[in-house]
Structure 1
Amino acid sequence: MTLLSVNLNKIAVLRNSRGGDEPDICKAAQTCIESGCGGITVHPRPDLRHVRPDDVRALAALLRGRVEYNIEGNPFAGARGEYPGLIALAREVRPTQVTLVPDSDGQITSDHGFDLERDIDRLRPLVAELLELGCRVSLFVDAGTENFDSAVAIGVERIEIYTGPYAQAFVEGKPGVALAACADTARRAQRAGLAVNAGHDLSQANLGTFKAAIPGLAEVSIGHALIGEALYEGLAVTVRNYVQILR
């Protein structure tokens, strides 16, 4: 079954908007685990706009030995203030998986993947260090990306397909072309020996269609839509709904 990893960034956004400790990100993670998710995702950023380094550490203690822990982020963003850098955080907490994403402070959210032809040499030593720590490494890529052999050659084990364009096309009622691009990218990656994850704007409405088109889909990371839907139905019910779709 495809693993559901719940992204808790939006819980942290709500907490940070008021200060203090509520809502409690660890309590949210506990609820998600009890409701059947197989992993928790966070995406700390240097500007501390949502998940903070102390959250990353607290969640590591909670999740260890229970479900997968996926930390996303830009490996090229240096330390700043309380933020020690993605690789340094991975060194501290040893997550199951580190998903490398080429985002910047100016982006509201991740909106593109790596250019493997341009970025692979810069990624090589960082991937090697993460593998040495025992972390599985996934690269965030756009649908249409090719040359996955270069990613395999530096030790990458998975890709995460950026599904924002598919989700937007689904809303517009014409997902066929975008979905086909995702499916073709998944096939190329799998032929190269990579497992395939996916994420960004996946929801209860569009997830079933997406999963049906991607045989062997290993993992989906879902946060924004899931937390938004949970405002109406509750977090536990919403997580169970996603798990059921993935079954």
Structure 2
Amino acid sequence: MKKKLLGIIAVCVLAIGIGTLIILWYVGMFFFDKVEDSRTEDEIAKAYIEEKYGMDTIFINITDNFVDGKSYRMAFKEQEEVVFTVTFETVDYSTVYHDDYEIMLAEYEAKEQAEKILPQIEEIGFEKPLSGLLVQTGLDNIKNEKRIRWLMLETETSYETIEKNEVEAIITVLNLVEDYNIDVQKIKLYNRWDRSQVVLDLREIEDVQSEEEIEARIRSR
């Protein structure tokens, strides 16, 4: 009787062990398939961007979370300094990719342009922000999703009140941006301590010829 009971227990333990191994095998296969699917998904995204722009890409990093979904930060091997983001969504059972390569390329080129005239800008009394972001891409305004480029400059000057010589310095910056064709749409000049600022939309003043009118616009900011 005792031997029979031990035999039954042994069979049960063996059955449980085999069942556990089967479950672990299925779980392992599930995660393996998920990893393989993810790799395939990544390679498809990479191939799409390479075909679209005709250049070889590298992954900078891959983000995948419940809130934002999956996205890629990529760069082209011949332009590693231009890092852009690729996202995708499913529309009518098809995958649609979105990327901001052209936007980030334009930002990089504008930054390179601005860096060339930075010594002249510094002579006037302005500096690159402590953040190091001389040119930034951001929304035009909260009412639309259009993205534009900003030239960001810091100064020791407070714009709580604006003196004549400060207006002249700002106009000199505007002339430099125009003369060197810096591809930005807005300029933000601000005091790094009291955060007073002057923001100018170059699209609004591109046809203004009179310095008096430009001065009026500066003071209105």
TM range (shorter): under 0.3
Q: Which has the higher contact order (CA 8 A, sep 6+)?
A: 1
TM-score, length-scaled by structure 1: 0.24
- If you compute each CA radius of gyration, which structure gives the higher value, 1 or 2? 2
Tell me the TM-score normalized by structure 2.
Answer: 0.26
